Chain A
Amino acid sequence: NAGVTQTPKFQVLKTGQSMTLQCAQDMNHNSMYWYRQDPGMGLRLIYYSASEGTTDKGEVPNGYNVSRLNKREFSLRLESAAPSQTSVYFCASIGDFTGELFFGEGSRLTVL
């Protein structure tokens, strides 16, 4: 019963390096999301994908790109990492009729 799976769980980058966070869900959900969580800020939406082949910006999209590879997978890319992108990143998918978000366990990213 995997649900939402994110990789990697931990990553340390140097400023200017690039990386991709991977996310996959096995619940056949249409909509998927990337959030970042910072102390005292709650969760802020970076990008979302309402269905396969579509993506839209959320509240804090600058510095990120996403790809909805297929219905299962939704990746988040940092092209040139900055210290301000140090955060915990969560992928989630939403039940089509329940509106309930199912979260991955998070990816902790540190940019030096």
Chain B
Amino acid sequence: AQSVTQLGSHVSVSEGALVLLRCNYSSSVPPYLFWYVQYPNQGLQLLLKYTSAATLVKGINGFEAEFKKSETSFHLTKPSAHMSDAAEYFCAVSPTGANSKLTFGKGITLSVRP
């Protein structure tokens, strides 16, 4: 069985500040991990994914995430928040990464203050 925990439902940062969105997972096998972003009234789109090639993964729009096996974590960061980063962010885990069901966290809403 696999699961994802995203603590808290809302994070607010100032424009230019560090963004840190936390994700912890549980999986019985080495996981594939994903971060998706959802802008208002849109579907989800992939930000980045971890597939065991490298522990630090870079995604679109300046986001990156680091896989830490010892902490079972895959936190999402961005050094400097932009107003356009305001959205809902979902962490997801898959046991195989191909043709299998993703399990999503409950999502975190990121607000960016001017």
Contact = CB atoms under 8 A, between A and B. Distances in A.
Interface of A: 4, 30-31, 33, 40-45, 48, 50, 58, 90, 92, 94-101, 103-106
Contact of A106 (B42, B90, B92, B94): B42
B26 interface: no
Contacts of B36: 101
Contacts of A96: 98-99
B44 A103 contact: yes
A61 B34 CA distance: 24
Nearest to A56: B101
Query: Contact residue range for chain B?
Result: 20 to 34
Contacts of B34: 99-101
Interface of B: 9, 32, 34, 36, 41-46, 49, 51, 90, 92, 94, 96-102, 104-107
A110 to B, nearest CB: 15
Contacts, number: 64
Contacts of A58: 101
B42 A99 contact: no
A90 B41 CA distance: 12
Contacts of B97: 98-99
Contacts of A30: 99
- Please list the 8 inter-chain residue pairs (A to B) with the smallest Cβ-Cβ separation, ordered nearest first: A103-B43, A99-B97, A42-B106, A43-B104, A42-B104, A103-B44, A105-B43, A99-B98
Nearest to B98: A99
10 contacts: A40-B9, A42-B107, A43-B90, A44-B104, A45-B101, A92-B44, A98-B49, A99-B34, A99-B51, A100-B46
